[in-house]
Amino acid sequence: MVNRRRLLKLLGTGSLLGALRPALAQTSAQAEEALPTFTGPGPNPYWNGVNPFVTYPQKLPLLRLTDRPVQLETPRHYFRTAFTPNEAFYVRYHLDEIPNEVDLTKWRLQVEGNVEKPLSLSFQDLVRNFTPVSIAAVNQCSGNSRSRFQPRVPGGQWGNGAMGNALWTGVRLKDLLKAAGVKPGTVQIQFEGLDRGRGPENLGSGRFLKSLDWDDPALDEAIVAYLMNGEPLPMLNGFPVRLVVPGKFATYWLKHLTWIRALTQEDKNFWMATAYRIPDTPNGSTTPEDVAAGKVKTVPIGKVNMPVRSFIVDPDGSYPLVVGLPAKVRGVAFSGHGKIVKVEVSLDGGQTWRQAALGPDYGKYSFRTYEFTWTPTAPGKYTLAVRATDEKGNVQPDTGVWNPGGYLWNKIERQEVVVIAAR
């Protein structure tokens, strides 16, 4: 035992420093060589990214990934419910000049480009002149869970909290496009918001522009939302209106949406042609070797819907369970391909599975809660796992995907828990 007196004695004789010296010498010698590949957290990484809590306007304390642009992750326990509170909803931007206020007496939504009749709509026009619709839909960043990738990839090292579910209310995008009269020859619809900045240098990336193909069925379900869980959108989530594209990754869910454009040429801007692309392989997976060899053909991530996923919210491993006392294994599941029809829980790391009870069905693009009551009968260490199935028969795989963008992660999630005996 090194108590204070012994420590002082060691320091006094210099033997402690002496013991450290060879190690320091070794470190500087190693620095000359390439560092070994950093593989990140092991098989049971933290649920959330490891980051400080910060408080932004209209937000509860969230986990800050970066400050400019603002990127905030939602802590795990907010996923106990099917709807994520607005104040806890994650935030992701690409550019650092974001609106702090929007004057609704001046703000207009422009529908322009290859249309018969360009529109300039006020907030009042949107609310009064178009039929309101509501849809529950999960907003998930393409890079959600990127910190799980092995080998690691650059980009925000999100845990699982770059997602949220809300009831979105607004106007059908197709109603706006119909009112403007989209002309023949249109190939894509482009969306742009109010944020600006430099973006990655010299790549023409200072405006965040995203486009969906004119024949993409997602356009029929997309809405221009002015309410989120029945309230005006928080500024950081896109006030006054944002695009909601149910089933697609959130990169298309343009915040502070102000320009909708019918394009006659494919959108080749940085955010379509370079960023947010996935390998054109069955599950968007490839290898670092194939990327290095230039073998990988890519497509925009909007070509696919979000793969099926499920999450263990409780228990979170921070406390022991007790033999003979019922414990609730619970969380959420969702899929961009259709509604969740089954969630299974494993108590032995994925060898055997038991069906969990599903919570209410809020529509096929919503989070669906699940619950499984487990009364442990023996003390020990257990690995819980959860696996969801959607109505198209998609089931979560037990292998992780790999692609250089760090997108499409949907591997079965695990949680280690300790069970103790009550005496």
Ligand X SMILES: Nc1nc2c(c(=O)[nH]1)N[C@H]1C(S)=C(S)[C@@H](COP(=O)(O)O)O[C@H]1N2
Q: What is the contact surface with ligand X in residues (CB under 6 A)?
A: 89-94, 139, 141, 193, 195, 208, 237-238, 250-251, 253-256
Residue 158 is encoded by which pair of tokens?
A: 């999100």
64, interface contact from Mo ion, ligand X, none, CB < 5-8 Å by kind: none
H helical segments located in 252-343: 270-273, 288-292
Check: CB of residue 99 under 8 Å from CB of residue 256: yes
Most distant CA pair in the chain: distance in Å?
87
**79-98 residues near Mo ion, rule: CB under 5 A:** 92
Q: Choosing among ligand X, Mo ion, none, which partner's interface includes residue 193 (Cβ < 5 to 8 Å by kind)?
A: ligand X
d(CA 342, CA 333): 9
Of ligand X, Mo ion, none, which one sits near residue 261, judging by CB under 5 to 8 A according to partner kind?
Answer: none
300-329 in b/e form (b: 16+ CB < 10 A) is bbbebbbbbbbbbbbbeeeeebebeeebeb
Please give the structure tokens belonging to residue 105: 């007496």
Query: Which of the listed partners (Mo ion, ligand X, none) does 223 bind, with a CB threshold of 5 to 8 Å by partner kind?
Result: none
Nearer to ligand X, 74 or 346 (CB): 74
Q: Could you tell me the smallest distance in angstroms from the CB atom of residue 143 to Mo ion? A: 6
Select from ligand X, Mo ion, none the partner in contact with residue 368, using the beta carbon and a kind-dependent cut-off of 5 to 8 Å: none
Question: What does 337 bind: Mo ion, ligand X, none (CB cut-off 5 to 8 Å by kind)?
Answer: none
Task: Quote the CA–CA distance of 151 and 402 in Å, as a whole number.
Answer: 8
Output the smallest distance, CB 168 to Mo ion, in A. Answer: 17
Q: How far is the CB of 88 from Mo ion (least distance, A)?
A: 18
Quote the CA–CA distance of 122 and 133 in Å, as a whole number.
18
Give me the least distance between CB of 252 and ligand X, in Å please.
7
**Cα(412)–Cα(397) distance, integer angstroms:** 6
User: How many residues in total does the chain contain?
Assistant: 423
Sheet containing 340-346: order of strands: 321-322, 413-420, 380-390, 340-346, 354-355
Q: Is 173 in the site for Mo ion (CB under 5 A)?
A: no
CB of 213 to ligand X, least distance (A): 18
User: Considering CB under 5 A, how many residues would be counted as binding Mo ion?
Assistant: 4
Token output for 107 = 């703000």
What's the CA gap between 281 and 284, in Å, rounded?
Answer: 5
Piece in contact with Mo ion (CB under 5 A), picked from 120-128, 137-145, 281-289, 292-300? 137-145
Q: Pick from Mo ion, ligand X, none: which does 403 bind, CB < 5 to 8 A by kind?
A: none
Give 61 or 320: the residue with its C-beta nearer to ligand X. 61
Interaction partner, residue 284 (Mo ion, ligand X, none; CB < 5-8 Å by kind): none
The residue among 72 and 177 lying less far from ligand X, judged by its C-beta, is 72
For residue 183, what are its two tokens? 């002309």
How would you label 76-104 residue by residue, b for 16+ Cβ within 10 Å and e otherwise? bebbeebbbebebbbbbbbbeebbeeeee
Of the pair 65, 356, the CB lying nearest ligand X is at 65
Residue 256: contacted member of ligand X, Mo ion, none (CB under 5 to 8 Å, by partner type) = ligand X
Contact 69, 98 (CB under 8 A): yes
User: What angle separates helix 4-13 from helix 15-30, to the nearest 10 degrees?
Assistant: 70
Q: In 3D, which of 51, 176, 163, 162 has the Cα closest to residue 125?
A: 176
- Cβ proximity to Mo ion: between 73 and 314 the closer is 73
Q: Does 141 bind Mo ion (CB under 5 A)?
A: yes
| Binders of Mo ion in range 241-270 (CB under 5 A) | 251
Minimal distance, residue 46 CB to ligand X, in Å: 20
Judged by CB, which is closer to ligand X: 271, or 370? 271
Our CB check for ligand X shows the closer of 237 and 415 to be 237
The pair of structure tokens assigned to 141 is 């960043």
- Give me the residues that bind Mo ion (CB under 5 A), please: 92, 141-142, 251
